[in-house]
Chains A and B, each alone.
Chain A
């Protein structure tokens, strides 16, 4: 499989006052095109930092992040913005919808950014929100908000979908529904899906599972027979 992102000895250090936090230490790994990759680890293990660097939201302190052969580890803000705009879709744990926009408008907000977005209605229908898309986030359940969030990420038809604890704030059934949607996007559009979670069973749906501990990769496992999310139990 072709490598989409190559991380080479990436470190990330934060300075918070007098405290220095080493969020990532010398992390090296690849993300392949079209795969579902699940990054597992307890909180503070550096998995969100890794996701942020992959998504161009943050730059590595040292090391290299290479996207389809282009080294983005020192990229300008302008280049990173284009990268996020054209290549990345984000799904967050707390949905992070714009409260002043309806579900549909939140999706349009992303669709407006790219030249050839998917059809907003179709995407909302795919996530099962055809009837609820004119509601504001405050009028929706958590699951509905997360579906808007996925639609918002998917509408740009990005090469890479980055999901930070997408089920973290949801109940069991709703969580499974969200994972199915992500798997469907992976299948239908061929988007690479990276899911960060502390919930180990979710790893069962992945093609590969990365375990992180203390800011570094503990191991990477390939999963030859990923389970459909409906069959995952936790």
Chain B
């Protein structure tokens, strides 16, 4: 078969532009598949290993406080494999720059290996359980040793021996850093679901020995958190109910399974997104590559009808001829898969590096995923081969004797548009030729259109991320959240104490709030949420309903979040029972009427009047925080004053959150640019191929026009019109298709924690259209380069 192989090579080198274009599409498909699948596999495997090695808890229970011994009682519950009781509490942290931040103080009993959610030392050494100070003496620097999470250490330039000061029980306590460590619950560090992104400058984990935690938090022999692991196959909900019963006397605050644990949920959401992308993106690229190959090979078989006839006359079997032509697509697949593997490995290492920046995983498994590579090859070869075989199936019907005779002209006839006489008569000849040519080549027309639809859809989808984020920033930081600072107190304070803050220079407006963590019960279902009490008429926090219309804080009743009302199966007008979970005082239960739905993009979203929030706790005039509108000139002064107030637990600055957000967006810009380039490449490849084929098929016709006196420009204009006919249809359909792709993607990656809104700005559609014009024009210009070199006489003589 050596002569046939030579023929194949020469065919490829003659059509190298087309070959390279379609190989590039396969390369992207395979690279994305291998890159994302490997990144997924590695991230997942690192997670699984870490969870296993460090005994990641199956269920979490938060109580006000309980004696340490209660864990013994929980151990006896059938289905419970292991129990760890510990102290975990958010404390204010005054770091080296005297800025207020929050630390999640977490206690560990040595040796940590036997604990659930045990920690893994990264640098330095374990903290000492003992302290140099005697009970009752004030704690001095160097007395209490701690470990911090590596991102907090890095973000705040902490080193071995450095001191961090926390505010605990109203006192400033110096703690000495002896190393960094992490745990399976700290892989993705966010303070709470209301935070959009990790910010190591304002939130970190402090790991401390149980004895020292009891001492500084004044919780001798007490715990406030119980973690359990379950025996395989245990009914998690049933076990959880039994544990809650045991903990009932100690003030159940919250309980949640592993899948609701914030770090795990964020990690799983990322994995879900990765898995979805690793499936649909390669499918699009390999699918379009197959379509392009189908078009190329169909055309090749048609134009080489005579050669196929000769081969058959010589005695070649249809099967051999088909395999010869399919060899073209197999080579496309092999080249694409080979280069795609190289790029895919680079992509996966780039992605792993990015994940290492965001996720605290002690060991990142950087394995080369052989299975992904094998699948990458198999997928691309199978898909290409199928495309090739389908395109070449007409070889069977080519009769050697008939092939020697000129092919009868295709059934001409009128196109549908020709019936619309008013339109048809207004078209110039070039348009008429283009329309008829498109109608004659409906298959190619359709495939090109579909290819453009996907390319444009992908452009829309790539750019959508920017819109969604911009929309979220705009809605969250500019529309909903109109304050410059949100100051929270360690525990609720009397409203009158706000005067201290209101009198600070530069405060233009202040509005109090009371945040109450609650469990909302309805019809046997219950959901944890946070109710925020605001003054009716509050202006610094804007609420909106599910239709984005602004709504007021009701005087009575509650605005409930869409997510919670859905989970409860309740509706507006229903009475729900609200159970407070604040760690002070007994839990209270109050029936509250749902009077509306509030639509918050991020975080919990139930709102009542400040007075009603106080009623829920059966207290009066308490507030847990204050929103401030500031004259920006005085911001620094305000921050400095607030840092001095020990009652303040956290200070959220809108500007700083925005800065953090924008910094994080830079990384996304890379991936968005890559996606945009991929989409343009996809569009280019399909339009280029279709244009090249259209040009070569019509060489004779175009040469005749040149002979008649048409200029080069006029002739390429005819090709451009045909090209635009299919591309513009593709663009027009691609825009709504992009919207659908975005919707599909969003529903694939939606999580309980946050939902990206399906928001696409008109400008994005404009950019997508401009981008598609770019690839259409470039593809067209490259494809019709040959118009200048049309050999008029030769082309007219040549019968093939």
| Residues of chain A at the chain B interface (Cβ within 8 Å) | 16, 52, 55, 57-58, 77-78, 81-82, 84-86, 88, 90, 92, 96-102, 105-106, 108-110, 112-114, 152, 156
Contact = CB atoms under 8 A, between A and B. Distances in A.
B236 interface: no
A90 B10 contact: no
B741 interface: no
Contacts of B416: none
A90 B314 contact: yes
B72 interface: no
Contact of A57 (B7, B10, B400): B400
A108 B306 CA distance: 19
B397 to A, nearest CB: 10
A109 B4 contact: yes
B311 A81 contact: no
B10 A109 contact: no
A101 B304 CA distance: 13
23 contacts: A52-B401, A55-B313, A57-B313, A57-B399, A77-B318, A78-B317, A81-B317, A84-B312, A84-B314, A84-B315, A84-B400, A85-B314, A90-B314, A97-B310, A99-B307, A101-B10, A108-B3, A109-B3, A109-B314, A112-B2, A112-B4, A152-B314, A156-B314
Given A52-B400, A84-B400, A99-B800, 20 more contacts: A57-B399, A57-B400, A78-B317, A81-B312, A81-B315, A82-B315, A86-B315, A90-B314, A96-B309, A98-B7, A99-B307, A100-B6, A101-B7, A105-B3, A105-B6, A105-B7, A108-B3, A109-B4, A152-B314, A156-B315
Interface of B: 1-4, 6-7, 10-11, 14, 306-307, 309-318, 399-401, 404, 408, 800
A100 B10 contact: yes
B2 A113 contact: no
Contacts of A110: 314-315
Contacts of A88: 313, 315
B311 A96 contact: no
B87 to A, nearest CB: 79
Most chain A CB within 10 A, of B2, B4, B310, B399, is at B310
B131 to A, nearest CB: 86
Contacts of B311: 98, 109
Nearest to A77: B318
A156 to B, nearest CB: 8
Nearest to A84: B315
Contact of A85 (B7, B315, B404): B315
Contact of A100 (B11, B309, B318, B401): B11
B408 A90 contact: no
Nearest to B307: A98
Contacts of A109: 3-4, 7, 311, 314
B699 to A, nearest CB: 15
Contacts of B315: 81-82, 84-86, 88, 110, 113-114, 156
Q: Which 9 A-B pairs have the closest CB atoms?
A: A85-B315, A109-B3, A100-B10, A57-B401, A52-B401, A108-B3, A84-B315, A58-B401, A57-B400
A96 B306 contact: yes
Given A57-B400, A108-B2, A112-B4, A98 B310 contact: yes
A21 to B, nearest CB: 12
Contacts of B310: 92, 96-98
A58 B401 CA distance: 6
B14 A100 contact: yes
Most chain B CB within 10 A, of A82, A112, A156, is at A112
B316 A81 contact: yes
A113 B399 contact: no
A41 to B, nearest CB: 17
A145 B702 CA distance: 29
- B interface SS class: helix
Contacts of A114: 315
B293 to A, nearest CB: 19
B3 A101 contact: yes
A139 B399 CA distance: 29
Most chain B CB within 10 A, of A58, A78, A96, is at A96
A86 B316 CA distance: 11
Given A57-B400, A96-B404, A101-B10, A112 B313 contact: no
Nearest to A89: B314
A183 to B, nearest CB: 23
Contacts of A96: 306, 309-310, 404
Contacts of B4: 109, 112
Nearest to B400: A57
Contacts of B316: 81, 85, 113
A152 B313 CA distance: 12
A114 to B, nearest CB: 8
Contacts of A16: 408
B695 to A, nearest CB: 19
B324 to A, nearest CB: 11
A156 B312 CA distance: 14
Contacts of B309: 96
Nearest to B314: A110
Contact of A113 (B307, B314, B400, B401): B314
A101 B8 CA distance: 10
A88 B38 CA distance: 56
A140 to B, nearest CB: 15
B9 to A, nearest CB: 9
Contacts of A81: 312, 315-318
Contacts of B14: 100
B3 A84 contact: no
A109 B5 CA distance: 10
B314 A58 contact: no
Nearest to A106: B3
Contacts of A97: 310
A107 to B, nearest CB: 8
Contacts of A82: 315
Contacts of B11: 100
B379 to A, nearest CB: 30
Contacts of A98: 7, 307, 310-311
A92 B404 contact: yes
A57 B6 CA distance: 26
Contacts of A86: 315
A23 to B, nearest CB: 11
B399 A58 contact: yes
A92 B307 CA distance: 13
Nearest to A17: B408
A85 B315 CA distance: 4
Nearest to B306: A96
A105 B315 CA distance: 16
A38 B306 CA distance: 25
A61 B504 CA distance: 106
A112 B1 contact: yes
A99 B7 CA distance: 9
A90 B1 CA distance: 20
Contact of A112 (B3, B318, B408): B3
Contacts of A101: 3, 6-7, 10
B7 A100 contact: yes
Most chain A CB within 10 A, of B4, B315, B404, is at B315
A77 B14 CA distance: 32
Given A92-B404, A112-B4, A84 B313 contact: yes
B313 to A, nearest CB: 5
Contacts of A105: 3, 6-7
A102 B9 CA distance: 13
A114 B399 CA distance: 21
B320 to A, nearest CB: 9
A142 to B, nearest CB: 13
A234 to B, nearest CB: 25
A97 B408 CA distance: 22
Most chain B CB within 10 A, of A98, A101, A156, is at A98
Contacts of A152: 314
A48 B400 CA distance: 13
A99 B316 CA distance: 17
A57 B314 CA distance: 10
